[in-house]
């Protein structure tokens, strides 16, 4: 199964790439979850929420072509239900369009009938990314509060 998300963002490919791969920027639009990696092909990455102190996801950087394409394996770790889904793949593709970029995120290699938690957050994440790059502001969507201290049980 695959899910494809497409959004247009008024920014440069370089700024968009940086927002995707920079830990501090990623935290601002990705439910507070940053990402750490050396961004070399074949290297690992880990998504950690600093406030919660837990790993949210992990995987391998399968293909890196800045600032155009990033392909990563993806293993969700935030609950036993999503851990049982195993490994899927996320592809980020950046294409300049005039003074903007088209960002296409394809989350594939999902099991048929996969838990919607694996892919259901993409619209909020990408909306937060667009808002951050275009306005410098943050969205306060319900997902952005998910791993806040109040949300940790």
Query: What was the pLDDT predicted at 67?
Result: 98
Peptide bond into 100 cis (omega under 30): no
Q: Judging by DSSP bridges, how do beta strands 3-9 and 54-65 pair with one another?
A: unpaired
**Tens digit of each residue's pLDDT (9 = 90 or more) over 66-100:** 999 999 999 999 999 999 999 999 999 999 999 99
Low-confidence ranges of the chain (pLDDT < 50): 148-153
Q: Which helix (H) or strand (E) holds 92?
A: strand 87-97
CA 34/CA 16 separation, integer angstroms: 15
- Classified by CATH at the fold level, domain 3-137 comes out as Alpha-D-Glucose-1,6-Bisphosphate; Chain A, domain 4 (3.30.530)
The pTM of this model reads: 0.91
| Structure confidence at residue 1 (pLDDT) | 96
Q: Tokens 């770790």 map to which residue? A: 77
């Amino acid at each position: 199964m695959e899910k494809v998300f497409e959004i247009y963002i008024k920014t440069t490919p370089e700024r968009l790439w940086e927002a995707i791969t920079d830990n501090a920027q990623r935290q601002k639009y990705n439910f507070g979850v940053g990402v750490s990696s050396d961004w070399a092909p074949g290297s690992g990455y880990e998504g950690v929420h600093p406030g919660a102190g837990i790993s949210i996801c992990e995987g391998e950087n399968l293909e890196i072509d800045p600032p155009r394409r990033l392909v990563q394996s993806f293993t969700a770790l935030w609950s036993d239900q999503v851990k049982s889904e195993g490994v899927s793949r996320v592809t980020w593709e950046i294409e300049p369009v005039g003074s903007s970029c088209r960002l296409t995120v394809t989350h594939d290699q999902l099991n048929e009938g996969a838990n919607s938690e694996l892919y259901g957050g993409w619209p909020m994440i990408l909306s937060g990314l667009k808002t951050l790059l275009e306005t410098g502001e943050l969205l306060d969507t319900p997902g952005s509060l998910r791993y806040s201290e109040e949300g940790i049980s």
